Structures are given as structure tokens and as C-alpha cells.
Amino acid sequence: MSKHAVLLLAAALTTACSSPQSKPSSETAAAGPTPIVQQTPIGDLPEVDVDEVLKHTKVLSSDEYEGRAPGTNGEVLAVNYITEQFRGLGLKPGNTDGSFIQRVPLVGITPAPANLVFKKGNEERTLAWKDDVVAWTKHVAPSASIDNSELVFVGYGVVAPEYNWDDYKGIDVKGKTLVMLVNDPPVPDPGNPAELDAKTFGGRAMTYYGRWTYKYEIGAEKGAAGVLLIHETGPAGYPFDVVQSKVNEQFDLVTPDKNMSRVAVEGWITLDRGRELMKMAGQDFDTLKAQAATRNFKPVPLGVRASMTIKNTLRTIESKNVVAKLEGRDPKLKNEYVIYTAHWDHLGIGPAVNGDTIYNGAKDNAVGVGGLIEIARAFKKLPVAPKRSILFLAVTAEEQGLLGSQYYAVTPIYPLAKTAANINMDGMNVLGRTKDLTLVGYGASDLDDYARDAAGEQGRVIRPDPEPEKGFYYRSDHFNFAKLGVPALDPDEGIEYVGKPADFGEKARNDYTEHRYHEPSDEVTPDWDLSGAREDLKVFFAVGFRVAEADKLPEWKPGNEFRAIREEMLKKAR
């Protein structure tokens, strides 16, 4: 799923603190004077064959594969194709059961249209399904309800001890429905006296506290009946019509408690309906929003009650991750793993656009899977295998909320304490060579230094995420590894194209997002130029190879939110 998309689904939070998106002092970071590890020069490593990447992409994104939705014939074709490619390279089955498959149980939940009713005394207001409210339940049950549930405004809904922040001071919200704002509490304008400084909640960079997934999770932790987010396009980073797409079937992992530990109703309401709700409660939205941006904010019972019943249509499917292994040569270190990931799934068949109903997903993410296969081929070209083992993992259901990678992370085939790193490929540069390479969350871990060194050997520089406020680090498959402590690299294409106007990259990116992202038109086109992808893939290959050869495992940087998780994991594994 493209990092430049307006809405990407995230996986569940295990723990969250400050943002990993610490940035270097300059906007562009060149290779440092001292490489993190002395290794085989990048020029001496095998090339990654992008002609083959393109061939894989054309096959996987062809109409025959029907958009590769989980649980369809497109999945069968895609899984078989990837499996045969791995087998043909001479890789070992990645699962300990002797197969190339990790089975991923999923449940599809389709909500029936349902209105939301607010009531205060004799006053009653009905919010229309989809137009005013988008809601669902993740309960694997025929229906879920909030019934005359008391509404409480809890600001941004955050509990962050490291920032001395608690939006639930002195109130028990069990059984109540929480109303929250989106994103993190905002950093104040320069010169405006306020409690938040430039480092609180990651400064301009979104932390996981700002993600809507966190807000539903903290509501469940507090025992709430429901959580309603007030949508604002600016802080959310996408318009309400993106939220409206969630009225269709959503998949989730099949859990032992059937998701009954989650709140009964999760949803969004429009800003206009949010303002009307506050007025109904005798409050002013803008005043409450300003109060919510301070540490002394206290929850505000609204004196309004909410009712909604969501009826579900349920179906279960068994989807598949495809996993292959290149065993390391070192008798001891071969039990440690570098994992490359790319998601094979896309959106399948959907509403017709210009007469086309197949959402081919060429860039999102057939090309990433092509890169995964060809990086595997490059590893097989090495004269000897690296010390550590390499795992090649093509995951399912990324478009449904990073579910395939989540399933691997919570039920790993190989222990996460023995997992040295994750390198994720979600989309590739298809428009030519760039002078730079973007790393989302740059400065998070030693892996960024590995990438910096490798790119520097190509005469290129590393660029941090230009839009850290959108929280892209939390929106792709690597995050499921990161939040459980595994150092994870989230690379993205560069923006400074060789021989092209300065604004070429930005215009091309915006054009893709507006016209091809999650549309049937995401197909291979004649203007594709994978010369830039060749250099990017070589960097990704070098990073994994060098980590696999290194004497020391990569670490999270001091102060990173995932560092303590990793340290505790390794401590328990000793």
C-alpha cells in the first residue's frame, strides 16, 4: 500500500511512546565519514535484475490475477506464482512444517447501514449512515450495540506517561462512549506560549498516539463501550470520503476472544456533526479543542447519550503468507534472521472506473513482490551464503490493515528475538534514477545507517520523510515488526530525479495518488523506468547482506520508542 496514500490501515498497538521519526540536523543526510560496518563494497555485490522485476510485476498485476484480493482466485494465482518463483530459485521452504506457506485465518465483517442517534432530554438528533457517521464493529458476532451510552469528550484520548499526559484524569469511562479528536495534540506556533514544546509528541512528526487505531485501542483498554472520532481533514491528512470507504467489508485476524475485548462500536463523525454535538451539549467545539491541547485538560461529560446497533454479515477465509529461506553459513548465526517483506495482495474487483473493474495494483504492490523475488535471486548469486539466514516473506491482507505481517509478528515462525532486522518494500520507484533515497522514520535505528552507507557508495544521499506529520512509519508492514522490538527499515523512493525538473518527483507522486492509487489504472505503463528501482534494490540488498554478515545486531537509536521493547526481548531470550 503506497505511503503517499491518504488512508492506510494500521495494525494493533502493543505499546507506544514517543515517535521514532527523529531527524538529522539537515534536511538531507549524506553518507557519514565512518560507516556503521566495514563490508563488501556495494559495487562488488550481485546486481538485482529489474528486467525480471518488471516481468513479475506484469504477471502479478495482469487482469488474469483479478486484483489479488485475499480469499479469491487472484490469491490462489498469486500465491502459486510466488511459491514457484521461490522454489525455482532453490530456496528452502520457509515454514518449519516443510512448506512455503504460513496460513493466516481471517474473518470478513460487513456492517449493515445503521444510523447513530444522539439524545439529550427531549432533544434528539439522527446522524445518517455514511453521510454523517461511518462506524463498524470488530466483534465477530451477528451484531453489536451502544444503547443509551453516555458520551464523554476526552480530548485527544491519549495516555502518555513519558510526556506527563493523561486525557482521562479522575474519570471512569467504563461502559461510556468516548468522543475524541484526531492526531496528536498540536505543537504551538513559534512564539505562542504553551505547554507543548517542539519535541512533545514528536514535534511535527505524528506519533502512534495520533493514529486512529491507537484511539480505538485505548478506548478498549479503558473499558469504553464505543469510540467516536471527530473527523478534520487537516489533522487527519485525508478527506471524509476516504473514511466512507470503510462501510464495506473489513477483514481482521481471527482471535480466540472473537475481538470481544474491543469496544462495541468504532466510528467517525463529520466535523459539522461534531460541532452540532458540542452545541447540543452546551459546549463550544473550538473552546474544547483548545483546552484539549493542554496538559491540564480534564474529560468533559457531555450530558448526551448515544445509541446505535450494527448488524454484521460474517465470513471466514484462510489466506496465506508465502515464506522462503536462504540458510546462513555460520553454524550459530544461521539461527538468526534478516526478513525481507512485501505484500502481495491488492483490492481485487471493485466498482467500475471508466469501464474497468479490476484493481490491478501494479505499483501497490506487485512491483514490491517482484523486487522481493529478485533480491532473493541476488542472494542466491553470492559465492557463499551470508552468516545469518535470510527470510523472504510475501504477506497477505496489507490492504486490510497489515494483517498478514501482524499474524507473522504475533505468531512468528522464527523467534523475534532471533530476528535481526526487517526490510520492507511497499511500492518502488518506477520513474527513473534519483540522487536521493527517502527513509521514513529516518534516525530510528542502525538500519538507517546501513542504508546511508550503501546509498553513499552510489553517490546518493538519504532524505528523511518530508511529511512526518502523516505518520507513515505506522502505516506499512514493517510496523508490525517494529512495535514488537525488531529494527525495521521503511524505505521510500527519492524525490530528486536525475535529469528531470526539480518538481518532477512531487508532480509525479501527486499524479499517482490522485489518479492511480487504489484505482484500476494502477497498471504497468509504457513510461515505467526501473533504473532508479535498480539502485534502490541494490541498497536494500546491501543492507540485508551486511546485517547478515555483521558481528553485532542492529539496534534502535537511544530514545527511540521501540528500544526498550527490544532490550527486554533480548534479555528474556538470553
pLDDT digits (tens, 9 = 90+) for 13-67: 233 333 333 333 334 454 444 566 557 899 999 999 999 999 999 999 999 999 9
Residue 37, pLDDT score: 57
Domains of the chain: 42-90+327-573 (3.40.630.10), 109-314 (3.50.30.30)
Please provide the average confidence, as pLDDT, over all residues in the chain.
Answer: 90
Closest-CA residue to 231 (of 216, 221, 241, 222): 241
Average pLDDT over residues 299-316: 97
Confidence of residue 312 (pLDDT cuts 50, 70, 90): very high
Q: Is the pLDDT of residue 169 over 90?
A: yes
Return the DSSP state at 143. E
Q: Given this model, what pLDDT does residue 545 score?
A: 98
321, 393 in Cβ contact below 8 A? yes
Contacts with 147 (C-beta within 8 Å, 6 or more apart), sequence order: 307, 309
pLDDT of residue 21: 36
- When pLDDT is averaged across residues 473-485 and rounded to a whole number, the result is 94
CA 133 – CA 268 distance, rounded (Å)? 6
Q: Is the pLDDT of residue 475 over 80?
A: yes
Please give the pLDDT value at position 200. Answer: 73
pLDDT at residue number 33: 43
Query: Residues near 542 by Cβ (< 8 Å), separated by ≥ 6?
Result: 39, 42, 45, 450, 454, 457
Q: Are 175 and 265 in contact (CB under 8 A)?
A: no
pLDDT score of 2 more than 80: no
In 303-394, which ranges are continuous DSSP H helix? 367-380
What percentage of the chain reaches a pLDDT higher than 70? Answer: 91
Q: What is the pLDDT of residues 116-164, one digit of tens each?
A: 999 999 999 999 999 999 999 999 999 999 999 999 999 999 999 888 8
For helices 73-88 and 367-380, the axis angle rounded to 10 degrees is: 20
Least confident interval from 220-229, 268-277, 507-516: 507-516
Summarised one tens digit per residue, pLDDT across range 194-249 is 455 656 776 777 888 998 999 999 999 999 999 999 999 888 878 898 888 788 88
The dihedrals phi and psi of 129, each to the nearest 5 degrees, come to -55, 130
The yes-or-no verdict on residue 348 having pLDDT over 60 is yes
Judge contact between 351 and 500, C-beta under 8 A: no
Q: What does R_g of the chain's alpha carbons equal in angstroms?
A: 24
Among 18-27, 167-176, 560-569, the range scoring the smallest mean pLDDT is 18-27
Q: What is the pLDDT of residue 3?
A: 40
Mean pLDDT of 71-98: 98
pLDDT value, residue 272: 98
Residue pair 182/207 in contact (Cβ under 8 Å)? The answer is: no
8 Å CB contact between 226 and 146: yes
**Share in percent of the chain as helix, strand, coil (round to 5):** 30, 25, 45
Using DSSP bridges, classify how beta strands 143-153 and 177-181 pair: parallel, antiparallel or unpaired: parallel
